[in-house]
Structure formats: structure tokens, C-alpha cells
Amino acid sequence: MATPGELARLHAVLNPDEHAHLQRLLGSWSLLSDLSFSDLVLVVPASGLEDEGDSELVVLGQIRPSNRPTRLNQDLVGQSPSRQAWSIAADAMEKGEIVRGEVEGISASGPIASEAIPVRFADRVIAVVVRIGLEQLGPSGPSYERIYFDAFDRLAAMVAESAFPFPDNDVGSEESPRVGDGVVVVDEEGRVQFASPNAMNAFHRMGVYSVPEGRRLVDLGVEESAVEWALTTKRPVVEEVERRPDVIVLVHCIPLVIHGSVTGAVILVRDVTDVRRLDRLLLSKDAAIREVHHRVKNNLQTISSLLRLQARRVTERAGREALHEAERRVRSIAIVHEILSRDPGDQVAFGEIVRALVQMAEDSVVGPPGVTIEVEGDLGDLPADVATPLAVTLAELLQNAVEHAFGVDRRALRSGRSPKRKANGSGGVSGRVRVLLDHDDQGLGVEVRDDGVGLPKGFDIERTTSLGLSIVRDLVVAQLGGSIEMARVPRPEGGGTVVRISVPVAPRH
Ligand SMILES: Nc1ncnc2c1ncn2[C@@H]1O[C@H](COP(=O)(O)OP(=O)(O)O)[C@@H](O)[C@H]1O
Ligand SMILES: [Mg+2]
């Protein structure tokens, strides 16, 4: 099924501004449908407007009233009604005036009295709105029927003279109230001519208990700036009026402008208190999640400080180093929670985590700077349950690079002694570590490459029992379902070690 936009491009000869005008009409014409209690159909000539005679019509849009049963059970969008049966549409297009008559072929019970309203845009009739069914609802109908019809007629005249829909793009958004939510009609001075029962409810909630006809809303204590502004600027105004701490009413004021003069306004009002309350609840849920991450981070930092304190008291070297290692691992997890506590939602910008981990690895090398770590690429936002194991993994790999690749031993790392480094080809002492990140539909790729001494002879990641790489293997393979490769970089390519990790990720929803 083609969208109205596609249909318009396929069939009608419309320039982009005309096209946008029709889109705005389709976005705001529920008002017309409800005020006229009628089905509306938007038709355009299929093969250009200049081409008179028997050019076809194409239906671009259709809307049913929300306050009355529809008369059109069928979906007409995309169809080409016969010119003879829909002659009023062709007439309206040609004359540029509202034409009343009948439409045939859409109801088994015969022709239906209808009217065709030309849609003008900048002096050109670009389409026609056909209102199906004109008859009054009768004595059993609502007493406000006459007022609605009258408001509709004024809006229809605006459509015909290019004054409706308004050029503002933001009007007619999904949020805009419908007639059924509550409608008030005021005259050109803002005096109430009619207020629907739902509109009255909204006023009650705002503390206004009667809205007598003929009184101005402002005299009744209703904030009237939206109405006043719409009447003076001749532009629609959307405003949220907050009365008392917890009543919020959305006011959408549409001025009725004929030949450039304001004759009144239709005001749609909707009590959005509950919607906004839900928004606030959701908002505070986000805040609560952030708070939890913040606390987890604080707890992890406390644990990491305890480990550090404990390490100081251990005289045996191996034990002290083990505690230092544990402290570092806890800190890398804390980094993830720290960043999650700043971002709303359960996704985390991995780039920020990488930055913090790089900083941590660089900080662990005491003494004259000798190891530089560069990062290329990005993994985007990741869910927390992927980001945490990946962060711990990256921390291990970076630590190994600074610790093993350049002959820096652990004592040197922590004692503050200047670490000895492998002499590279040029006799310099600097080491370079590169972190390459990439992300596609298949998964995540993390590569850590150093130009250091390379892996010890006979090294095999599958068989290593050392703790760091065992943790990495467990996280990547068992927890993330990914794979690891570790290899020596051949001398001609600079030597050193490369570790590649790939992790499949489920497509994001
Ligand atoms: N980038 C690297 N360059 C050289 N050797 C490495 C590198 N990464 C790991 N290794 C070797 O793999 C061994 C195991 O690493 P790991 O499991 O992290 O334990 P640890 O870091 O505690 O020694 C290291 O002792 C080291 O010999
Ligand atoms: Mg290690």
C-alpha cells in the first residue's frame, strides 16, 4: 500500500511546497472531519492540473469522523474514482469554489449529498476535499451541531482560500487534541460561544466552574494568553496551561481567518494531567536507574579502596600483587557504572568507557612516559550487560600490553622506578599500543595491538592458566559468545602482539 506521499509523487504534479501543504492538511484535517460529522476524502488529479478533460482522479487520503458512524466502509486511498461519479470534485477544481452536489458509486443506497472544497495553495488549486454526507443529524442530534457545522464552514472557506492548513509545521502534531477531547468556540473578541462537555470538564479541573456563553475566558480566570495570541497573530497557538500544581491542560487554538480578518477561533482543549504524570513517573524511573548505578559505583570504589589498603599491609610480594590486580579489576567495573550513572537508559556510550580505561592503563605506568595508547573507531552505545564484560576484557588487555610488551615488570609499575623497555629497532624506548574498535551488523570487533616483545615462545591462549587471560577467555567466550585470537605480529610489520576479539551482537530493536 502506497503512503499518501508516494501516491502524490506517483500521480500528481505537485511541487515540494504544495506537497508539504497537503501533508499538513492530512495532519490536521481530523478537526474538519469531526466538526462536519463527515467522512472526508482528499483527491488530486492524476496527471497534472493543466491537463483538462478526462484526467483521472486519485484519492490521497481519507478520514472518518470520530463522533459519528462512518459512511465509507471501504478504503479509497490509492483508488481512482470515476470523474462522472465524482463530478463535484472536478467542478470544484476547475472553478476554485466550493461545489455542492452528489457523489455516486460509494454507497449501495444511491448517491450521497456531498460538497467539494478546493484546496488552494498560493493561488493554485492543488487538490479537493470531498465531504461525504451533508445532512443534519436531526432533532435527536446534539444541540451543538449547528455550531460545529458553522465552524466547519469557516474552516472550509479557509481551505479554499489557502489559509488552512497554516504554514507552521509544528501544528497538527500527534499530540494535538481532537474535537472529542473538548472544544470551545469563541468569537473574534475571545467571548465564549460554545464549550463542549469535555471542555467543561477540563475547565472544572482548572477550577473554573461555569463558562457562561458570552464571557471571555480571561474574565473567568482561565489563562487566556494562547487565545489572545492566536487572535492577534492569526496563527495557531499550542500551549500547555498548568493550573494548580497538578492540573495540566493542553490548549490548541485555531483562529478562524476569512479574507485576512479574524472571525473567531476554535479551541481544542485536552486534560493531559494523567499523560504528564506518567511522563514524570517515567522520568523519575530513569533517574532511579541512574541513582542505582551511582550507588553501585560508589560501593565498587569502596571495595577497591579496601583492597588497596589491604595490599599495603601484605609484606609478601605475590599476595600484594594479587590484591593490586583485584583492585584494578574492580575499578574497571566501577568505570562502567560510573558512566551508566550519567547516561539515562540501559545503553552506555562505550567510547567513554574506553577513554577511562586507557587513562587507567596509562596511569599504571609510573615514571617517564614511554607507552602511548591510541584508540581508533568506536563501538557506539552498548547495553550494560555487554559493556561490563567488554570493559573488564579491554582493561586486562591494556594492562598486559603495558605490563608485558615493553618489559615493564610489575614492581616497576608500582614502585615508581623507571621501567626498562625493550629497545626497538631505532634504539628508542617508547612503546605504542593501538586499540581498534569496529561495529557492524554482525558484531563488535576489538583489537589491541602493541609493538613490544611479542608473546613468549610456545604461548597458547587456549592452554594458559594465568588469571588475567583466563578471565578474558571466560568473559568473551562463555559470557559474550565471542572468540579471541592472539598472535605475534611479524617483525617486518613492526613486531609485538595482537589480540583480536569478536563478539556477535543481536540486532538492536
Ligand atoms: N601484549 C603482550 N605482550 C607480551 N606478552 C603478553 C602480552 N599479553 C600477555 N602476554 C603473556 O601472557 C601471559 C599471561 O597473561 P595474563 O593471563 O594476563 O597474566 P599476567 O598478566 O598476570 O601475567 C603474560 O604473563 C605474558 O607472558
Ligand atoms: Mg595480565
Q: Which pLDDT tens digit goes with each residue over 105-151?
A: 888 888 999 999 999 998 899 999 999 988 777 777 677 888 899 99
Lowest mean pLDDT among 43-47, 329-333, 501-505: 43-47
Copy the grid coordinates of residue 404: 608485558
Q: Separation of 464 CA from ligand 1 center, angstroms?
A: 9
Q: What percent of the chain has pLDDT over 90?
A: 42
Residue 339 has pLDDT above 90, yes or no: no
CATH architecture of residue range(s) 346-509: 2-Layer Sandwich (3.30)
Contact 500, 445 (CB under 8 A): yes
Per residue, the 3-state secondary structure of 109-163, as one string, reads CCCEEEEEEEEEECCEEEEEEEEECCCCCCCCCCCCHHHHHHHHHHHHHHHHCCC
Q: Is the CB of 117 under 6 A from ligand 1?
A: no
Nearest-CA residue for atom 3 of ligand 1: 405
Q: Is the CB of 455 under 6 A from ligand 1?
A: yes
Contact 248, 269 (CB under 8 A): no
Q: Separation of 317 CA from ligand 1 center, angstroms?
A: 18
Sequence-separated (6 or more) residues with CB below 8 Å from residue 245: none
How much is the pTM?
0.54
- CA-to-CA distance for 375 and 5, rounded, in angstroms? 44
Residue 12 has pLDDT above 70, yes or no: no
Per-residue pLDDT of 449-477, as tens digits, reads: 999 999 998 888 888 889 999 999 999 99
Domain boundaries, the chain: 4-160, 179-271, 279-345, 346-509
> Which residues are bridge partners to 266 per DSSP?
185, 254
Fold of 179-271: Beta-Lactamase (3.30.450)
Q: Is the CB of 495 under 6 A from ligand 1?
A: no
Q: Is the CB of 401 under 6 A from ligand 1?
A: yes
Torsion of CA 362, 366, 367, 373, to 10 degrees: -10
Q: Separation of 468 CA from ligand 2 center, angstroms?
A: 4
- CA-to-CA distance for 473 and 484, rounded, in angstroms? 7
Residue 417 has pLDDT above 50, yes or no: no
Check residue 413 and give its pLDDT: 55
**What is the average pLDDT across 414-420?**
47
Q: Separation of 331 CA from ligand 1 center, angstroms?
A: 20
Copy the grid coordinates of residue 412: 616497576
Q: Separation of 226 CA from ligand 1 center, angstroms?
A: 69
122 — phi, psi (to 5°)?
A: 45, 60
Q: Is the CB of 465 under 6 A from ligand 1?
A: no
- CA-to-CA distance for 86 and 107, rounded, in angstroms? 13
| Position 255 confidence tier, pLDDT thresholds 50, 70, 90 | very high
CATH code of domain 4-160: 3.30.450.280
Distances (CA, A) of 279 to 182, 272, 276, 379: 22, 10, 5, 30
Residue at grid coordinates 488552494: 120
505 — phi, psi (to 5°)?
A: -125, 145
Contact 356, 339 (CB under 8 A): yes
Contact 331, 300 (CB under 8 A): yes
Mutate to test the pocket of ligand 1, among 364, 398, 404 (most ligand atoms within 8 A of CB): 404
Q: What percent of the chain has pLDDT over 70?
A: 85
Check residue 245 and give its pLDDT: 67
Per-residue pLDDT of 277-308, as tens digits, reads: 777 777 677 777 888 888 899 889 889 988 98
Residue 210 has pLDDT above 90, yes or no: no
Instruction: Go through the chain and tell me how many residues it has.
Output: 509
Residue 93 has pLDDT above 80, yes or no: yes
| Position 49 confidence tier, pLDDT thresholds 50, 70, 90 | very low
Best CA proximity match to 203, nearest among 224, 230, 172, 178: 224
**Ion ligand 2 — residues with CB < 5 Å:** 400, 468
Q: Do domains 4-160 and 179-271 have the same CATH topology?
A: yes
| Position 424 confidence tier, pLDDT thresholds 50, 70, 90 | very low
The b-or-e profile of 161-192 (16+ CB within 10 A means b, else e) is ebbbbbeeeebbeeebbbbebbbbbbbeebbb
Mutate to test the pocket of ligand 1, among 462, 466, 472 (most ligand atoms within 8 A of CB): 466
